[in-house]
Structure 1
Amino acid sequence: MAQDREPGLARLLRAVSTVRVPDAVRAAFEAEPGEPAPGQLWRTRWDETVELVVLLAVSDENVLAAPILLDDRCADEDTIILPPAQNSLTTTIAMWAGLARQLPMCILDRQLGVADIGVADSGWIERLVEAGATRGRRAAGPLDPTNEVQARLTDALDYLASAVWAPSGSGELGRLLAEASLGPPRLIELLDVSPPTALALRRGQAAVTPDQAAKLALALRLPDRVILEANPAPSRRLVQRMSRPRRRAQVNRLAARRGVEERSAWLAATYSVNAMAARQTGTQEPAWDERIDQYFQVTLES
């Protein structure tokens, strides 16, 4: 099928162009993304891979999601076909429930609306069918186009499931500074930091910001990226909060303002927030959302 070879975004735009988008859905798509919840319809995006999904469950780091298509002609026997009355797109959608899987939170891009599927309780599929939903059909054979659509969706979900943006952090910053004989006095002078911060950096207990990494790059004769990757790993809780759809939208505005790629802006924001929190709270786990709000308020509104 020729449409299956199209880049994800182009294919999605072509499909959506055939559907009249309700005003409520358009407003939801253009609004600041909210918190994910079961039953919501989302656009997922990672590089050129773009798919629509319905959320079945949500945790701190992942979502259980099933892909949806606006075309039900190739729906397999595990697919639930929702009539217009059961979703806010007000059109028939095919929910490939048999392909549901865990996906990282960071692939959620824009909310499209909701589906009235009641996934909080067991037996929700049977109740959907009783309320008017139908099931797809079994493939007639190996050449049935249903198999090709299923394979394409499976490949897309595999790619989305592999999405990672967060730095692991090698923790080698202290060693790099030691090998270059950059002690606290030199760091204070070079980076314009306080003595406690310089000492923490020298011991590998604090992280440098992207701006500080650029200054160190000349002294260490290393790329900025290598220095940033030598930082201590950021807090797992910070990475969780930075992976939320709301933060991704802010990261994209930051990327547009600075003319950099999305993941570069994500890293820069995370390292900056992490370094700021370390200076202000020490070893105590900070209120990350407050710190992130402060960072984006300064970088996006100044």
Structure 2
Amino acid sequence: MIGDPAADPGPAAYPDIHLHPPVSLASAHLLDGDLLAPTVAGSKHLVECGWCQQRQQAADRHHGDDLDDAAFLQAARHRAMTAGAAVLGPLTRLTPALHELTRDTDVREPVTVGQLWRLRREQATELAVIVAVDQWWVTVAPVTTDLAAADEFSLLLPASATPLNVALAVCVSLDCTVPMLVLDTLIAPAGRPGLTQQMPAPQTLRDVWRAWRRGEPTPAGPVYGTALDEGDLDRRELRDAVATGFAPLIGASAAIPGSDPLSEVTPLAQRVRDRGLRPSQMARETGLPMEVFTRIGRDGRVTPNEAGQLAPLLGLDRTTVLAANPPLDDDLITEVSQPGYRRGLRRLAAATCSTEDDQRWLMAQTVAPIASRTVTGRDPEPAAVNPWTDKVQDYLRAKLAELDDQP
């Protein structure tokens, strides 16, 4: 977009309004209240951006043609201050249901193909449909309210397909892979074959995704967008903006607990053996029970607290000791990445002045050694059930109970 920041009257006219990036950089999560945020693109932005043109056309139906931008912003601001942001709903294609995406909800549904989710990572918030799940990795198709972004491999959903009550474009051809831990709110469950007015069936999404990957014709039945041609510069720019919005979510892969280290580390068991001390002597010097050193000898892990006590003996810091732990079990990484734990982890983070990622890492590090000292005579759990679910839930339940007991 082209614009002269110095020529933008917004900061002078509305000094108390926080400035946002141009609307073209936003996607489906933009709220009605953001109408009050001037951009630096000026009229040039409105000429080039079809999304903003639609919003402006909707506004024109409620105001006279002679109302300039400054007067419209003043009117919109006054209405928002006197009657709440909900009154701005008729001025846009966004429905009040979209504002519900800002609520912090408790997710209990398992992650499956065909679901519509809100993805959230720090300041990045996007909508996407699940097209594939592989342990803690999720392949998603970006979703936008701007139907102009839909190409011949993008599904067009009617407003009745989701609780948002707005038409959506599922851009399968913009697919990307994100860690499961960025999934935040389940908006709509996967559809079922034979029913109407719902999300597409999982198999339909798989077939469309496979067609896009292989360059094959799309299956008949769903409604698709229009193929891009060489002159569709505005649509290509719009699709680039939608894809760019997912960059912070893709980058969240670095926050996965137990990610492979950037450099080779000496295993913890080897470091302990290199000390050349008997386990009983190390137990006396560290104050740790013998069970810890038995566990280390069997290639087990230590908790963050145990690592802190063990660090002086090994001449290391606690972080280095934890990095020397054996890799986390894949099922454990998958379990702690489940979106259902995000609400509790955020509570712990707020109470300890840490981050959600810190609390997820701590939970994985603390729960992992449990498997090495847990003895049970029960039959193994079925393959479909994650064996770490109960342990992780017990840990989080206990930590939250401690918060509730605090005065």
Aligned to 1:151: 240
Query: Aligned in 2, Cα 1:285/1:243: closer, same or farther, shift over 3 Å?
Result: farther
Q: Give identity over the alignment, percent.
A: 22
RMSD over aligned Cα, in angstroms? 3.5
Q: Which amino acid aligns with 1:37?
A: T
Query: Cα 1:152–1:91, aligned 2, differ >3 Å: closer, same or farther?
Result: same
Structure 1's 28 and 38: CA in aligned 2 closer, same or farther, altered over 3 A?
A: farther
Question: 1:103 pairs with 178, 196, 208, which one?
Answer: 178
Q: Please give the per-residue CA displacement for 1:127-150, whole angstroms capped at 9, x wherever unaligned.
A: 232xxxx524525527x2222232
The aligned counterpart of 2:31 is 14
Report how far residue 89 of structure 1 moved. 0.9
How far off its partner does 1:270 sit? Answer: 0.5
Flag structure 1 segments of 5+ consecutive residues without an equivalent: none
CA contact (8 A) 2:288 2:306 kept: no
**Equivalent residues in 2 for 1:61-72 (5 A)?**
61-72=136-147
Which consecutive residues of structure 2, in runs of 5 or more, have no partner in the other structure?
2-21, 35-88, 190-197, 209-217, 382-386, 403-407
Letter in 1 for 2:330: R
Match of 1:177 in 2: 272
Q: Secondary structure at the match of 1:269?
A: helix
Q: Name the SS for the 1:166 alignment partner.
A: coil
Matched, 1:166 2:272: no
Q: State the secondary structure of the residue aligned to 1:127.
A: coil
Aligned length: 292
Q: Which position in structure 2 is the counterpart of 1:255?
A: 349
User: Which of the pair is proportionally richer in strand?
Assistant: 1
Distance change >3 Å, CA 57–CA 269, structure 1 → 2: same
Q: 257-266 or 267-276: which moved more? A: 257-266
Q: Which residue of 2 aligns with 1:194?
A: 289
The within-5 A match list for 1:1-302 is: 1=1, 2-5=22-25, 12-14=29-31, 19-22=94-97, 30-114=105-189, 115-121=198-204, 122=207, 126-129=220-223, 135-136=225-226, 138-139=228-229, 141=231, 144-157=233-246, 160-161=249-250, 163-164=253-254, 165-167=256-258, 168=260, 170=265, 172-180=267-275, 183-189=278-284, 192-201=287-296, 203=297, 205-281=299-375, 287-302=387-402
- Residue 290 (structure 1) shift: 1.3
* TM-score calculated relative to the size of structure 2: 0.61
1:43/1:112 contact within 8 Å kept = yes
Letter in 1 for 2:306: Q
Give the Å deviation of 1:90.
0.6
Q: Deviation per CA, 1:135-184, whole angstroms, max 9, x where unpaired?
A: 24525527x22222322333444654451412147561123334455642
Q: Post-superposition shift, 1:231?
A: 0.5
Higher relative contact order (CA 8 A, sep 6+): 1
How far is the alpha carbon of 1:68 from its aligned partner? Answer: 0.4
TM-score by length of 1: 0.80
Give the secondary structure class of the aligned counterpart of 1:135: coil
* Amino acid of the structure 1 residue aligned with 2:231: G
> How far apart are residue 42 of structure 1 and its match?
0.8
The verdict on how the C-alpha distance between 1:62 and 1:214 changes in structure 2, with shifts beyond 3 A counting, is: same
Cα 1:232–1:281 shift into 2, 3 Å = farther
Question: What amino acid does structure 2 have at the position aligned with 1:200?
Answer: R
Residue 272 of structure 1, CA deviation: 0.7
Structure 1 residues 279 and 69, CA gap change in structure 2 (3 angstroms): same
Structure 2 residue matching 1:188: 3-state secondary structure = helix
Distance (Å, rounded) in 2 between the aligned partners of 1:74 and 1:100: 13
The one-letter code sitting in structure 1 at the alignment partner of 2:29 is: L
2:202 alignment partner, SS class? coil
> How many Å separate the matches in 2 of 1:16 and 1:230?
49
State how far apart, in whole Å, the 2-side matches of 1:152 and 1:223 are: 43
